[in-house]
Amino acid sequence: MRLSAALLGFGVKLAAAVVSLEVKGSDFVDPSNGDRFQVVGVAYQPGGSAGYNPALGFDPLSDGSKCLRDAALMQILGINAIRVYNLDPDLNHDECASIFNAAGMYMMIDVNSPLVGQSLDGTAPWTTYTSAYLNRSFAIVEAFRHYPNTLLFFSGNEVISDADSGAIDPAYVRAVTRDLKSYIAKHSDRIIPVGYSAADVRSVLFDSFNYFQCSISGDANDTSRADIFALNSYSWCGDSSFTTSQYNALVAGFTGSSVPVFFSEYGCNVPAPRIFTEVGTIYSDQMTPVFSGGVVYEYANEVSDFGLVNISSDGTIDILQDFYTLQNQYNKVDFKTVQTTKANGTDATAPVCSSKLITTKGFETNFTLPKLPPGAAEILAKGVHPLPSGKIITISDWNVNYTVRNPDGSTLVNLAVKPLANNAFNMPGTQNATTATATSTSTSSPATSTAAAKNAGLGRADLVWTPAVALAAILPCLFTLLL
Ligand SMILES: *[C@@H]1O[C@H](CO)[C@@H](O)[C@H](O)[C@H]1NC(C)=O
Ligand SMILES: *[C@@H]1O[C@H](CO)[C@@H](O)[C@H](O)[C@H]1NC(C)=O
Ligand SMILES: *[C@@H]1O[C@H](CO)[C@@H](O)[C@H](O)[C@H]1NC(C)=O
Ligand SMILES: *[C@@H]1O[C@H](CO)[C@@H](O)[C@H](O)[C@H]1NC(C)=O
Ligand SMILES: *[C@@H]1O[C@H](CO)[C@@H](O)[C@H](O)[C@H]1NC(C)=O
Ligand SMILES: *[C@@H]1O[C@H](CO)[C@@H](O)[C@H](O)[C@H]1NC(C)=O
Ligand SMILES: *[C@@H]1O[C@H](CO)[C@@H](O)[C@H](O)[C@H]1NC(C)=O
């Protein structure tokens, strides 16, 4: 599937690319026309944490034929960005990155992983803020910085979740943000934004936001200041509303932000099946002046039941009803208008860091950040060695080889990624699934039985169910097995 570098030299045209977006004030902006960009994203981590296995040599972006299958379905859904959590900097991601690029989708990349030494330990961050940890985080930057569709890097995910973690972790997360930004400024030919993905725990959410968006030096170029702020929010459940979901409190709290704010996860799944009515609100005038869209959790179904599709071990896909429900909600939004709004030229200035910004007792008020750990300055100066790298390559076959079935058992035909024109990104409603007219082999409706099972098992309104909680419960066992 790959074209040799030699051939490229003879003028073979690469597939068109998306425009690398920039952060301007509180907006993601297409620098070619000044249009503001709203994230229409989906979390992409098939296999959950087990989908990343450096020992066996795979991660969610290492198998081109699977990315092709998934990008084709995401085009039909209307997605313009994926978030990928756990990646191996030493694997080749060229096919997957090139496929998502051609399909008109940006990539949000978490630099961390749940493996020991590959993320901060929130209960004792000083033990894990090491040069080996930073080297790996920088290596992720190296592996993805060449792709035009790399939208941003997350320096941390839900490290701060309560008063205890709020007391000790913010300075370390801000230090990691600083180090990634310093690395990018020195080694990347393009400035790629870096920021934090917060748990939506309202008692520490806005303190975290202010701790990361504020400027220590007093100007916008503070190297430790976050470029973006994102939150994983599950407060809109079922047939809710702007006020019932407390989205109104989020809009109020983030109004006047000096950086783009968006949902890095959303999509509460109790009650099931989901109706995704939050979509209409997220892309409405109630939210878009302050928010830049969001990422639905999640593409592939795992034990926590947030998926839009089931993926079998042979790669066959069963599309779940939630996929089409979400597509219907996207189709109701006028994205041509939403995505061509000009960026707000008058940007809010970052507040100057001060203990006055912090409202919760015990939350970190020290803005003197930890110094680089021993050995890290040299890696920062000279770059990661050996050097991971990535490049956009030509994909010769856009057809999907896997069987993909609808909830009613019918099979999708002619499934393929449709490479977009240069500078274009994917939009809802521009592509629809073509279904075989042949008779279905399925006798019952899987969609109906799934919904019934979910309602029986999970229909408890009091159950606070977040993917992070589920992951935290599962991860230790999984990784004990793997190592
Ligand atoms: C799909 O299968 C065909 C025939 O076996 C093969 O030529 C092609 O390379 C495959 N495409 C992908 C994307 O794997
Ligand atoms: C730094 O990261 C690279 C890329 O993953 C790896 O090959 C190298 O061994 C790491 N070096 C150190 C000192 O950890
Ligand atoms: C920030 O950096 C940019 C680009 O280097 C520069 O144009 C701008 O003047 C700087 N702003 C401040 C407040 O230092
Ligand atoms: C632009 O941003 C400024 C500063 O945050 C705000 O006062 C103003 O209302 C915004 N304008 C629009 C049209 O959103
Ligand atoms: C603030 O943090 C820095 C860096 O960890 C530390 O050296 C300093 O002692 C702290 N200051 C206070 C008042 O705790
Ligand atoms: C896809 O289907 C939606 C909903 O029926 C429709 O609005 C849209 O025009 C269709 N798009 C194409 C490209 O056929
Ligand atoms: C999807 O997977 C879940 C969990 O394994 C299962 O309960 C459900 O029946 C599957 N649905 C379809 C349509 O395959």
Could you report the per-residue pLDDT of 264-295, keeping only the tens digit for each?
999 999 999 999 999 999 999 999 999 999 99
Average pLDDT along the chain: 89
DSSP-derived secondary structure letter, 135? H
User: Which residues surround ligand 6 with Cβ inside 6 Å?
Assistant: 331, 429-432
What pTM value is reported for the model? 0.88
Residues in CB range of 348: below 8 A, 6 or more apart:
25, 26, 256, 257, 258
378 is catalytic: no
pLDDT at 29 over 60: yes
Residue whose Cα lies nearest atom 2 of ligand 7: it is 310
Which residues does residue 195 pair with via DSSP β-bridges, in sequence order? 154, 228
pLDDT value at position 438? 52
What's the CATH number where 424 sits? Answer: 3.20.20.80
- How many domains is the chain built from? 1
Residues in CB range of 417: below 8 A, 6 or more apart:
68, 71, 72, 75, 99, 102, 103, 395, 398, 400
Cβ–Cβ < 8 Å for 146, 390? yes
Domain holding 58, by residue range, is 5-482
If pLDDT is split at 50, 70 and 90, which confidence band does 14 have?
A: low
pLDDT value at position 10? 41
Please give the backbone phi and psi of residue 106, each rounded to the nearest 5 degrees, phi first: -85, 165
142 is catalytic: no
User: Which residues surround ligand 2 with Cβ inside 6 Å?
Assistant: 89-90, 132, 135-136, 139, 384, 386, 388
Ligand 6 atom closest to the CA of 328, numbered from 1: 4
The pLDDT tens digits for 213-237 are 999 988 878 999 999 999 999 999 9
Rounded average pLDDT over 44-73? 98
If pLDDT is split at 50, 70 and 90, which confidence band does 304 have?
A: very high
- Ligand nearest the Cα of residue 445 is 7
Best probe residue, ligand 4, of 287, 288, 338, 346 (max atoms within 8 Å of C-beta):
346
If pLDDT is split at 50, 70 and 90, which confidence band does 15 have?
A: low
The pLDDT tens digits for 422-436 are 999 999 999 989 988
Residue whose Cα lies nearest atom 4 of ligand 2: it is 139
Choose the catalytic residue: 95, 142, 265, 298: 265
Rounded Cα gap, residues 387 and 89, in angstroms: 9
The pLDDT tens digits for 352-376 are 999 999 999 999 999 999 999 999 9
pLDDT value at position 345? 72
